[in-house]
Structure 1
Amino acid sequence: MKIKIICFNKVDKEFKDVISYYSDKISKLCNFEIIEINEVATNNQTKNIVENMKLLSNKLNVLIENRFQPIVLDVNSKIVDSIEFKNLIENNKDTGTGNLAFIVGPSDGYSDEFKQNNYTKISFGKVTMPHLLFRAVLFEQIYRSFKIMNNDKYHK
């Protein structure tokens, strides 16, 4: 199984240790890749934000390969718990392509065109958090999912 994380910007030093910790653990359980896209700053003018959303969403579409099932992380989507998240990974491993691409969107959000793609969309809840903190939560949940699948005691 291969898991790809597509996200924006580099990891700040404050989050580097926790993200590296989980990245190392996940890498021992599956083929794991992180793709970081540089985000373009906008000046909060509506036209520039919309144009930026389209530009960044187009970059995402290019990075999503046909052999990967895209999972879009979006706060406005269906909320999943740890078991449902594990089932998503496990079902893909057992009956899907075996390849998942988790997409953590840009700070301005996804373009309307990108949202219309027939990608699986999930949320970890309605709270807003910084992208790097969310990335750490995502990595922890991926690791937790593998531990649950392997009947390890980590998740309890």
Structure 2
Amino acid sequence: MKIKIFCFGKLDKKFFLEAFNDYAKRISKFAALEIIELKEEFVGENNKNSEINSNHLFDKLEKIRDFEIVVLDVKSKQVSSEQFAEIIDNNKNYKSGKMAFIVGPSDGYSQKFLSKYSQKISLGSVTLPHQLFRVILAEQIYRGLKIINNEKYHK
């Protein structure tokens, strides 16, 4: 299985980087993980920022058409860890075994971007810093893989 995470910015806090790398190492026992870090553009107006950054995402995602795209959006349907694992398992078993999780820019996605992708989920309704969210996403991917493989993991 191949998993890509598209996100804006870099992990520059040591504790976030260490936590993320720990989960990335754990994930590597189940899947090949690749992180694609994008530079976020800020030109002033929020709508313009989201449009520019969403277009940048479009360009990147066009190159991986054979991947299942999962857009992480705080306004979308919240999923439990079990439901998240099911999304991964469905891809692994019934689709290409290739997934891309998209963590949007700080000003959100454009409407055009959101309308293009049907698989949109939320891991919760709270707003989190991007760096912390990347750690949480990695943890949930790892947890999902453990659930799929019927392996024990702390609760």
TM-score (norm 2): 0.93
1:6 corresponds to: 6
- Deviation of residue 146 (structure 1)? 0.9
Rounded Cα–Cα distance in structure 1 between residues aligned with 2:118 and 2:37: 20
Stretches of 4+ moved more than 2 A in 1?
A: none
CA contact (8 A) 1:147 1:155 kept: no
Unaligned stretches of 5+ residues in structure 2: none
Deviation string 1:94-152 (CA, Å, 9 cap, x unpaired) is 00111110000000000111011133000011111111111111000000011111111
Q: Aligned partners of 2:10, 2:117: CA distance in 1, in Å? A: 28
User: What is the root-mean-square deviation of aligned Cα atoms in Å?
Assistant: 1.2
CA distance in 1 between partners of 2:54 and 2:96 (Å):
23
Secondary structure of the residue aligned to 2:126 is coil
Deviates more, 1:103-112 or 1:19-28: 19-28
Residue equivalent to 1:62: 59
TM-score by length of 1: 0.92
SS at match of 2:153: helix
In the other structure, the counterpart of 2:110 is: 111
User: SS in structure 2 opposite 1:23?
Assistant: helix
Identity of aligned residues (%): 50
Does structure 1 conserve the Cα–Cα contact (< 8 Å) formed by 2:9 and 2:40?
yes
> What stretches of structure 1 of length at least 5 have no aligned partner?
none
Instruction: Indicate the residue corresponding to 1:40 in structure 2.
Output: 41
